[in-house]
Structures are given as C-alpha cells and as structure tokens.
Amino acid sequence: MTHPTQPLNGDFGILIDQVSPDDLADPDFQAWARGLWLDHGGLLGVRGAQLADLLPEQLVRWSEVFGVIEDKIQTAREDKSVAGFPILRIGNVRNKDGKMVAQLLQVPQLTGDADIRYNPETRRPVWHTDSTFRARPPVGSVFHCRKAPPEGAETLFADMQGAYAALPPEERRKLDGLEAVCSLAHHDKKINSYSPHYPVLTPEQRKENPPNRVPLVLNHPVTGRPSLYGLNSSTCAIVPKGQEVDPADLDKWDLEGVEDDSVMIWRNMLPTVTGPEFTVKWQWRAGDIVVWDNRSTIHSGTGFDYSKYEREMWRLTLVAEAS
C-alpha cells in the first residue's frame, strides 16, 4: 500500500493517512488495515479529507472489516441513533425542533497533557473498557467524526497489553485469579450523578440487564496476547473468580452508584498504566475514523466548551469477530 502511515506511540496505535471512501471499500486495503490494527495493540485511525461526508452505509461496510456490528442501539438510547442504521450519535447536536439527538456526556476538558494520566483524587479521566456489563462484551468500537470543535474533545487511548507486560510477575499472577462484577444499572447511575442528561435504568430495565463478570486479565482470542481488562463505570466490585456476591450489596452499588472498596485494585494501577509510555491522545478532525479493540485497550473521552462548539460523532459497536 502507498498510503503514508504514522505510529502513534511506539508499537501502540497507527494512523493511515490520505484515505478515500474508495480505499475503505477495497478488499486489499481492508486486509492491510486489519492486520495493522491487530499488530499495533488494537488501535487504528484512518484520515482523509474525503471521509468527512461518508455515508452511513459506507461506514457500516468499513466497520464490518473489524467485526460483526451490533444491530440495535442500547437500552434507553434509541432516540439518539442515525435513522435506519445501528449507529449511535454522540455529542451535543440538536434537530430543527431543538431536541438533543446525540448522547451527551459532560466531562472536564484537558488543561494539558499531564491531565491524561489518571488522577486518584478527581478520578479523572474516566478510563474504561467498553460495556463489560454485557453477557458478551463487545470486541471493539468504531468512532467516526462528523463535526469536531477546534479545541478539546480529544479521545484518549491506553495500551493494556503493554501495561500488563510491564507489571512484575507476582502482580500478574495475583490479577490472573480475579474478576470484575459489572452492572449496567450501576454504570448509568454513576454517570448520571455528574452528567444529568445521562439516562438511568427503570426497575424493569434493571431486571433485564443483570450484572456480568469478566476476568481482570484477558487473553486476546486472535493474537493470544494478555491484557488488563474489566475496568468500566459499570465495575462495582472485584472478587476472586467464582465468589458469590450478596444481593444487598448489589442493590447498593446499583441504586446509589457507589463502588465497593475492592475496585481500588484496578484504580490503584491506573496512574501507572495511563502514563505517557502507554497512552495516545487523538485530536479529532472531521472525517477521522478510529477503530479500537475493546479487549486490549482502555479509553476515555474529554470535554470541550459545550456552550460554544458543536460536536457530532457516530459510533458503531462490534460484538463478535469478523467472519
């Protein structure tokens, strides 16, 4: 391939530049890009001036290179989708009637690169793995930038394969025996506490979405490489594999949005694994498409001036390996 590429942080992450919609539909380009994605820790960005007006169906076909697309929008978010497609709209755009048609999550803007590292006092940025509360957590996600503010709104990514490999052997063995308890109700209540536009589950929806348990160390099913895993705003406890959870504790975690103290096992690692040697800051341009592997990365959104700028992102979720 003749497209210029740029590594993002050593072996973690890669950008392919000067990409056109025709490239995205080319099987040879697709195979090359997927290989780069797997070889660079599950983080791939494509950029090109012609991608800014990509059609939804073109984005869907490109996303299918990396996995099977979830065919429905998550519970309580149906009105934020791109009509006729399994694409969630994220940002602060409104329709002609003034109704918000994107999922808005208000978080602080970065003041400098030092803010990328997790701060235990503020618990920011909100670094996480996607949707670990699901019975089958997604394998990845695709973000397409439709409209970006000129400053702020960066997305942060961290290399969990590299972070796991850098841990002392004794620490790796300890983590291998643990799993995270993850609940969608806990997730939504926690985020709603600082972002009031974010929906919370009804009692019926909570029953339909019971908690899930995932390992803290996940071996990638394609590459076999182990990664730190299981940190999400839904993570309400960390327990030895197979240990039962008291239903009264789960009620507290779900309805109040508070975490069990055991989650500090993960949080205590965060300042190290979100340091400069493991992280990438992606500054969005209209047209950019980033694909990340949920099994080998964590990420975080950052804020912007919500009263001054508009932002619109299209997101697809990948629920299984590509066939």
pLDDT tens-digit map of 172-209: 999 999 999 999 999 999 888 877 877 899 999 999 99
Q: Give the pLDDT score at 76.
A: 58
Q: Give the pLDDT score at 159.
A: 98
Q: Give the pLDDT score at 171.
A: 96
The mean pLDDT of the chain is 94
Residue type, 149: P
Q: Give the pLDDT score at 73.
A: 67
Q: Give the pLDDT score at 31.
A: 97
The answer to whether 40 touches 71, Cβ cutoff 8 Å, is: no
Q: What is the per-residue pLDDT across 217-234, written as a single tens digit (0 to 9) for each?
A: 999 999 999 999 999 989
Q: Single out the residue of 6, 262, 11, 287 nearest to residue 146, CA to CA.
A: 287
Residue 1 clears pLDDT 90, i.e. is over it:
no
Measure Cα distances from 66 to 56, 183, 190 in Å.
Answer: 16, 26, 31
Q: What is the per-residue pLDDT across 147-171, written as a single tens digit (0 to 9) for each?
A: 999 999 999 999 999 999 999 999 9
Q: What is the per-residue pLDDT across 107-146, written as a single tens digit (0 to 9) for each?
A: 899 999 999 999 999 999 999 999 999 999 999 999 999 9
Q: Single out the residue of 157, 144, 156, 140 nearest to residue 19, CA to CA.
A: 144
Q: Give the pLDDT score at 79.
A: 80
Average pLDDT on 239-256 reads 94
The pTM of the full predicted model, rounded to 2 decimals, is: 0.93
CA angle (227, 291, 85) in 5-degree steps: 125
Residue 38 clears pLDDT 70, i.e. is over it:
yes
Of all residues in the chain, what percent carry a pLDDT higher than 90?
Answer: 87
DSSP 3-state helix, strand, coil percentages of the chain (rounded to 5)?
25, 25, 45
Residue 307 clears pLDDT 70, i.e. is over it:
yes
CATH value of 5-320 in 3.40.190.10, 3.60.130.10, 3.60.20.10, 3.40.640.10: 3.60.130.10
Q: What is the per-residue pLDDT across 39-90, written as a single tens digit (0 to 9) for each?
A: 999 999 999 999 999 999 999 999 999 999 998 766 556 688 898 899 999 9
Residue 322 clears pLDDT 70, i.e. is over it:
yes
CA–CA separation, 301 and 140 (whole Å)? 16
